[in-house]
């Protein structure tokens, strides 16, 4: 098999988790921003990040509030997620336009999104700039799951959460389970 080098350094073929991030300041209504660059930095302490372009309306809200909620949408919300990514909250109340329901968070001012199966409340610990986007590094201060998204053993049920990703301009489902951590050594 031959390899070919492309000059598309800005295109990532890796699927990125797609989430809805909510943010609120004292003086402004809550806003929703679609983020496809997010992930975990550390599990102890529990730290995550979101990458936001400074030109986005939510960037200034994040700088002011220093907190946010990562809301994990299921596949059925893909059209709403896309809308929240292409329309500015500076001009539109995205909760009103999409019909999403804002629920009070337990620790931060930004609301949870009821229709998302997972909600992760975060407080900004650091803002890092590496070019086109700023990374808002957040310590997780609370996590909420829909009761239906929790298995009998107390673990999250990905079949019910149905998270998805974004890659090369497309939203993509996660697909079937290929194995579990350590299965290569356990033979199962």
Domain ranges of the chain: 16-174
pLDDT tens-digit profile of 133-155? 999 999 999 999 999 999 999 99
- Nearest CA among 93, 114, 96 for reference residue 105: 114
Residue 129's pLDDT band (cuts 50, 70, 90):
very high
3-state secondary structure of 160: helix
Burial class, 7, CB count within 10 angstroms (exposed 0-12 / middle 13-18 / buried 19+): exposed
3-state secondary structure of 94: helix
Q: Which residues make Cβ contacts (< 8 Å) with residue 51, sequence separation at least 6?
A: 35, 37, 38, 133, 134, 135, 136
pLDDT tens-digit profile of 79-123? 999 999 999 999 999 999 999 999 999 999 999 999 999 999 999
Q: Quick one: tokens of 85? A: 């990514």
Cα 25 to chain centroid, rounded = 19
pTM of the model: 0.92
Please give the class, per CATH, of domain 16-174. Answer: mainly beta
């Amino acid at each position: 098999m031959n390899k070919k080098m492309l000059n598309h350094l800005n295109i990532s073929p890796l699927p990125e988790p797609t989430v809805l991030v909510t943010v609120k300041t004292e003086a402004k209504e809550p806003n929703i921003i679609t983020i496809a660059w997010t992930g975990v930095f550390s599990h102890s302490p529990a730290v995550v990040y979101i990458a936001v372009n400074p030109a986005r309306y939510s960037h200034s809200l994040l700088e002011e509030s220093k907190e946010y909620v990562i809301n994990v949408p299921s596949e059925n919300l893909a059209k709403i997620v896309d809308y929240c990514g292409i329309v500015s909250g500076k001009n539109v109340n995205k909760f009103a336009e999409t019909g999403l329901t804002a629920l009070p968070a337990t620790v931060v001012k930004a609301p949870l999104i009821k229709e998302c199966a997972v909600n992760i409340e975060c407080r900004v610990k650091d803002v890092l700039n590496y070019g086109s986007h700023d990374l808002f590094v957040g310590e997780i201060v609370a996590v909420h799951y829909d009761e239906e998204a929790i298995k009998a053993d107390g673990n999250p049920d990905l079949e019910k959460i149905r998270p998805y990703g974004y890659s090369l301009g497309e939203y993509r489902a996660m697909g079937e389970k290929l194995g579990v951590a350590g299965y290569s050594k356990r033979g199962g």
